[in-house]
Amino acid sequence: MQITEIGQSNTIAIMNSDPNSDDSDGDGVLDAEDGRPWVVNRMINYLVVGQDRPGESPIDDCADYYEELLKKKHMPRYRLEISTGNEFYYLWSRLDSYHGDLESEELLPRYSIVDNLIIVCHGSSEILDFGQTALSNKMIHDDDLNIDFNDPMILGDYQKIHINVIDLQACNCANEDSEYGKYNIAHELCANLDVETVYAWDTECKFSTLLDMNYYEDSDSDGYVKYTKTSSEPNRVPNVDEHRTILLFFVSWCYNPVTPKIHSLLSSEG
Ligand SMILES: [Ca+2]
Ligand SMILES: [Ca+2]
């Protein structure tokens, strides 16, 4: 038997879980699958940022604004700068287990729900453009669009975790004027994935460093649109903009500024 004298110390093994329980932290994920068996899996927020065009910075400016907002609200978050659809796909398949390294082999669950997945990039009604390569709505599971279901990038097949909000800070992702009609990216995400709400733009949006927020100029559009799940079709709510300040109201004769929608308040994970 080894005896520890006063003033000395021994290193002992640290238990990773409670040997008497299958789910040591009681968060519903069994220890064998739980990325943190002693920490209750919580919600997480992601800020996914594409690349600006050379000499421009609206993507970065908008992402900085969202990051500050998440910080102020003490919401746990990851910001990822990406440039390809492949990188988005890798993150998408790791939304429940991501902890700072896209290439990590450890894929055990750490989060119970994604609260906000905010995507800032260039876009259209059919494409999220991250800079080098894009994510098209062909990666979204949808019978109506005659999608090639052999496409390995179909998002629905690889979603592992519920998402409360997807916020698409990209131009035209809710626009219904393309050849796909109402089946724009925002509609498709809401209709086909385990997502509660999708926010997106029915027009071009621009980021103003003066106003510190996105705005749009096309008064004929529905502006910043909200899609929510219903039993059959996603319910589209036009021009969701309930938080204008006096300044913003003053300039709204020419611009239509919109504040971001952060789904819920969380305390910091520390
Ligand atoms: Ca657990
Ligand atoms: Ca846990």
Alpha helix stretches (DSSP H) within 120-220: 185-192
Model confidence over 188-240: pLDDT tens digits? 899 888 999 999 999 988 888 877 777 777 878 888 889 998 777 899 988 77
- Ligand 1 (ion): residues with CB under 5 Å are 23, 25, 27, 29, 34
Q: How far apart are CA 23 and CA 64, in angstroms?
A: 38
Model confidence over 39-75: pLDDT tens digits? 999 999 999 999 999 999 999 999 998 898 888 888 8
From the CA of 92, how far away is ligand 1's center (Å)? 22
**pLDDT at res. 269:** 33
From the CA of 94, how far away is ligand 2's center (Å)? 16
* Residues comprising the chain, all counted: 270
From the CA of 28, how far away is ligand 1's center (Å)? 6
pLDDT at 9 > cutoff 80: no
- Residue spans per domain, the chain: 42-258
**pLDDT at res. 244:** 40
Decide: 212 and 247 in contact? Cβ < 8 Å.
no
From the CA of 51, how far away is ligand 1's center (Å)? 37
From the CA of 97, how far away is ligand 1's center (Å)? 13
CATH of domain 42-258: 3.40.50
Model confidence over 167-180: pLDDT tens digits? 999 999 999 998 88
| pLDDT confidence bin for 266, thresholds 50/70/90 | very low
From the CA of 42, how far away is ligand 1's center (Å)? 11
> Within 10 A of 182 (CB to CB), how many other CB atoms are there?
18
**pLDDT at res. 19:** 78
**pLDDT at res. 252:** 42
Across the chain, mean pLDDT equals: 80
From the CA of 153, how far away is ligand 1's center (Å)? 30
From the CA of 224, how far away is ligand 1's center (Å)? 38
Beta strand segments in the chain, E:
42-49, 77-81, 111-120, 122-123, 127-129, 134-136, 163-169, 195-201, 206-208, 213-216, 224-228, 235-237, 256-258
From the CA of 90, how far away is ligand 1's center (Å)? 24
The whole model's pTM is what? Answer: 0.82
pLDDT at 79 > cutoff 90: yes
